[in-house]
Amino acid sequence: MGQVHSEILPGRVQNANMTDYTRAVSEFRWEDVEKEFSWFHTGKVNMAHEAIDRHVAEGRGAATALIYSDSAREERYTFADLQERSNRFGNVLRKYGIGKGDRVFIFMPRSPELYFSLLGVLKVGAVVGPLFEAFMETAVKDRLEDSGAVALVTTPELLKRVRHEELPELQHIIVVGAQADPEHGILSYEEETATAAAELEPEWLTLEDGLIMHYTSGSTGKPKGVYHVQRAMIQHYYTGKIVLDLRPDDVYWCTADPGWVTGTSYGIFAPWLNGVANVVRGGRFSPQDWYKTIERFAVTVWYSAPTAFRMLMGAGLSSLQGIDLSSLRHVLSVGEPLNPEVVRWGDKIYNQRIHDTWWMTETGAQLICNYPGMDIKPGSMGRPLPGIEAAILDDRGNVLPPYSMGNLAIRTPWPSMMGTIWNNKAKYDEYFRIPGWYISGDSAYMDDEGYFWFQGRIDDVINSSGERIGPFEVESKLIEHPAVAEAGVIGKPDVLRGEIIKAFISLREGYLPSIELKDEIAAFVKAGLSAHAAPREIEFKDKLPKTRSGKIMRRVLKAWELHLPAGDLSTIED
Ligand code: WTA
């Protein structure tokens, strides 16, 4: 079994000037990373084993793995603790016949139990689906239905949003902090785990077996289930080492919730595969609270998002009063473009260069990054990691020269590339329509030193505070409201959030525009989908621009909003 903290990992670029970078890229072999895993030697694959059990087996069981805190709790768990808790939960699942390939979803706020159960699901070879706690009824039902989840872990509060009578495949509901209610198929997490055995032999899998599902938005249709497989761990581990720069004594904090891919790939897998202490802070964002979290636990490596940095910047110096952030050694960002202004502010206020990283739910892990040692150009997403080849392609698949804008594409395959889109092979294939490449849906250009610069989305997907929102899903919810005849949704540029959701609405006969109606419609989306999907702005229109086939032309709505020429209108209705 390999050493977890090997001194020299291929691709580790200490001083990434052009020559070193070129050498790192040419010498890089994924196989050298694979050798670090126990399955490379035993053939027995299981993410939870690599992330937790092997540390215990190799004598690091007493090291801190999880530092959890919120306004009510502060708890620490070692790798040995996590092994025991996840084993118990795995045994509960086995008792009910749940195992390899089954989908088990987790719908709860951040808490230690979320992490125990997620690892327990993985131990028995089931595929885990974490859902963001802000999801409301429709969003929860769509995901449980599409995935065919057989079990759900939740809390009494969130259980109210689960329409389990309408989900015949959902056989088991395990509630944290409640008593069993056998008549309604409700099991108690506490009762079940208390009597379950603390030992468990993990389900041994192959690298192509399932790991995790994250639902994410596209421009058309409902959110799609991005299905990742076990081999993703190769890249979680590798990027944890060379991009997050994790070292044995680090205290690492990723601010993302496990309902988003960043909160699992980098809030669970990367830190624990690398054996470091992982901070989880429950509750909502507040500048004071976040700074105190860094200070209290002496966080050394911090991974967050542009919106959060912009909010911290907006909170001003007073929020830093009396706070010591000197423990910080490395700061990173993901999710949306990181403004150069924010990078410069980070230099000044944190004495840290904020390192931007680019990747997507579908890519499973970081691909284009600014990593330690490399010259950072504020505003650039960085360079492809050793092992990753990126290019800008035109729509026919020709590679474009530097400074041309086009489709940001990645050479296939790479270890954490999604396994499929659940129930939707056609959607999956769309990403790979140009042979040999994954088409990201982002537009970008590359400069003559191989740095990539993000330009925007090619489709209509909205990125608000780093969260991907499909306009179609919001429009579908809007037209369920009795007053709404038609709805078109766009992303409107916003200083703090990157974009906000703006809805153009035409009303049904008998309804008159009013501020109260706007509020009511926004609240309706919030209650049906989630707060982040609700439009922050609504504009009523007599008629919306449509194609002759009846499709609402979001491109025209966007042009209206930005006071730009509307472009080719030859397909418009009238
Ligand atoms: C955007 C989050 C600019 C991009 C891990 C991408 C970014 C989408 C960056 C994926 C970045 C992510 N600079 N844009 N550094 N990182 N994006 O699936 O449009 O929630 O396609 O994954 O966010 O969002 P997702």
Residue 468 Cα: closest atom of ligand 1: 20
> Does 499 have pLDDT greater than 50?
yes
Which residue has the least CA distance to atom 15 on ligand 1? 358
What single DSSP character describes residue 510? T
Model confidence pLDDT, tens digit, residues 88-108: 999 999 999 999 999 999 999
pLDDT for 1 equals 33
Report residues whose beta carbon is within 6 angstroms of any ligand 1 atom.
Answer: 216, 261-262, 334-337, 356-361, 381, 440-442, 454, 457, 463, 468
Q: What is the pLDDT of residues 106-150, one digit of tens each?
A: 999 999 999 999 999 999 999 999 999 999 999 999 999 999 999
Query: What is the distance in A from the centroid of ligand 1 to the CA of 467?
Result: 9
Residue nearest to atom 8 of ligand 1 (CA): 360
Reported confidence tier of residue 218, pLDDT bands at 50, 70, 90: confident
Q: Following DSSP, what letter does each residue of 77-140 receive, concatenated?
A: EEHHHHHHHHHHHHHHHHHTT--TT-EEEEE--S-HHHHHHHHHHHHTTPEEEEE-TT--HHHH
What per-residue confidence (pLDDT) applies to 8? Answer: 39
Distance, in Å, from the CA atom of 314 to the CA atom of 283, rounded to the nearest integer, reads 20
Closest ligand 1 atom to residue 440 Cα is 21
Atom of ligand 1 nearest to the CA of 456: 19
Rounded to the nearest whole angstrom, what is the distance from the C-alpha of residue 522 to the centroid of ligand 1? 26
Q: Considering the chain, what is the average pLDDT of its residues?
A: 93
Determine what percent of the chain is predicted with pLDDT higher than 70: 95
* pLDDT for res 261: 97
For residue 180 the two structure tokens come to 């069993």
Q: Please determine, for residue 557, whether its predicted confidence score (pLDDT) is greater than 60.
A: yes
Residue nearest to atom 5 of ligand 1 (CA): 360
User: Which protein residue's CA is at the shortest distance from atom 22 of ligand 1?
Assistant: 360
Q: Indicate whether 12 pLDDT > 90.
A: no
Residue 338, SS3? Answer: coil
What ranges make up the beta strands (E) of 327-379? Answer: 330-334, 354-358, 368-369
For a mutational test of ligand 1's pocket, the pick from 228, 343, 359, i.e. the residue with the most ligand atoms closer than 8 A to its C-beta, is 359
- Residue 16, pLDDT above cutoff 60: no
Return d(Cα 468, Cα 471) in angstroms, integer: 10
Q: Is residue 65 within 8 Å of residue 278, measured between CB atoms? A: yes
pLDDT at residue 568 in the model = 64
pLDDT of residue 573: 61
Tell me the mean pLDDT in the region 466-491.
Answer: 92
pLDDT at 170: 97
Nearest CA residue ID for atom 7, ligand 1:
336
Q: Where does the pLDDT of residue 80 fall: very low under 50, low under 70, confident under 90, or very high at 90 and above?
A: very high
Q: What is the pLDDT of residue 299?
A: 98
> 371 alpha carbon to ligand 1 midpoint, in Å?
17
Q: What whole-number percentage of the chain has pLDDT above 90?
A: 85
Q: What is the ipTM of this complex?
A: 0.99
pLDDT band, very low/low/confident/very high, at 571 (cuts 50, 70, 90): low
Query: Atom 12, ligand 1: which residue's CA is nearest?
Result: 335
| 222: confidence class by pLDDT, cuts 50, 70, 90 | confident
Which comes out higher in pLDDT, residue 542 or 546? 542
Pocket test for ligand 1, best of 463, 465, 467, 532 (most atoms within 8 A of CB): 463
What's the helix, strand, coil split of the chain in %, to 5? 35, 25, 45
Inform me whether the pLDDT recorded for 6 exceeds 70: no
Residue 377, number of CB atoms within 10 A of its CB = 17
pLDDT value of position 574? 53
